[in-house]
Structure 1
């Protein structure tokens, strides 16, 4: 084994039985495992965050099958590389192609390869960090019988990998005497956040940076803490995981789970994109809190503007206030749902002419066109509400249509009572 190869590369699983984690995808009880063990490898797409085992799983599948194996990256491979794969398949009858970053597959590559995937002479394993239903060409996707989403490895899976690397004398660090404690390995496993590559790279860096005493490498707590603190664990900024974090944040606030919302906020802040986080928080204020607590929108905007002036790390303070406030506030989506209903009705052709008395009358000749009859509500007082008159505002064809359904939550309960009262006036 070349000494220049990183530990993470050397410790890739050689067969399916060496794969750590991903039991739901490739465990011994899964249909995919049984198919591959029985000699049938289907074309598939592997989707997930960096470092969770897409490439390793592809190599493990190759090691378990008897097919000739070729690995390419879609960002650097050209038409000739694909033609070489096709030539190999003609010589051997069938070839297993691993294509990393498959979402970057260009049309020329596709046109060259698609017929051979179709006839089974090329078995494709594509890997991507992006959602394949959004970013992988449908022509490729339709030819893959399996689309598998891989998950981050658990702490137990990470520890299995770390111990395997420490014990393996052929590919790992087993030939060295290394004094490292269970607590230190726990630190590495936790800091790597389910990313096997980071865990093994971190372990290798710690061993390389440690001093040797009496023939043994002695790992110090201070060194582990120092190197662990440098490990980025927050995913691919602007990739699918980033948008999954934004989605999880909004759903946690909508579900009033303060702790979960703060957890996802922390991840997003550590990604360094203050703009995206701020934009999403402002959307939530109006989409999910809405009329139940109208004061929240301006308060969240003030928190965002404060965060922009402060910059990180102090920006986290006003944003934390905004997140907790929205989590514990009453919730309503009635206003924007009503608008969406109106938009949908317009697209469905449910429209009508603007009543004559509502049309613009601020010019000479408007009266001749029939733009008359409008009653000024401020001239007719209704208790403490202000002014109101019973006149038609919707087009005649739509009179009686309702888009808004008020929710009896927070401040909107008061607004709902006014809405219903005004509706009752119309009926009279």
Structure 2
């Protein structure tokens, strides 16, 4: 049954069928072929995960991010980042990385971040004299930091698969996210120095910088606000997501005074569209998971890895290699939901902390977002910069190096994912 499902899924992907529909068709065909599962039960399995209370956090976090990113706040964040690092070598690239890190604490979505931040900063970098392919590469790679900085949508999805604490995942992912940001800023610095990229001239007056910090503070405080509420047990993840929407409305209305009915409408439309895509993949993955569990695939794979590879170091390496390959072809949410159950079982067999495993999975699969042939943020950056994909990939090699280095550290040094 699993072999039939895998074959049909591969064929449907090859003919460009959307991932959600491909998963449903492949799993449904496998269930019908096997004949052991009643159709009614299959339909229940399809819709059951979408009724999960913790998953309500996803649309509310998306809505809060849409409300905050679409207004004046985005401009203030860019101005703050420019004053902070713009005067250094590769300053505009570093502005993009800092902006991505801060935006990650607002949106929780790498794709949304690449679109919003890229549309502002890629044209700006081009006007300043930066190569368009480099501007696209920085945006494509740094936007994936959103998968780690709270409120991370991928970490929420992993928590539902692994039954892990969202609060602990959010806390554990902050340091790895900052490590990625620091490494990518170093790449921008040395690239700017070696290639003589232009440097921004910014006002160095302390009062001016202080003003930019105050204007950006509502966004800077967002991830810390979320983690504090969760870690202190003040609110559940779903309640925190609702509070985040209220926070975004108050900030836009009372501080920046740019909230309009048109912005609210656009944010709602964007939220519904994005949530629909995510929920379709979640429902489809539940059906696939039923097929895999029925045939005990996660248990069999975990036992095989434990008895064949023996060494935990090799098992972790195997998981990383599989994820790097899968991430090149599947989008991040689908990959987490498909690989999560099997890898959680493997992690348990070698005594790996599920929180560390979750952060490792998110970093690994985030690399696929800026890796061809189906890298989502890679395509977004290339389209905005109006350059061929191949040119962007050539500029991405140092960023791949940073991401792989951070992935290796997180995989083998548990202390880096403290919570």
Fold match by TM threshold 0.5: no
TM-score (norm 1): 0.22
When Rg is computed on C-alpha atoms for both structures, the one with the higher figure is: 1
* Higher percent of residues as strand: 1
The structure, 1 or 2, with the larger RCO (C-alpha pairs under 8 Å, 6+ apart) is 2
Q: Structure 2-normalised TM-score?
A: 0.23
Which structure: greater helix fraction? 2
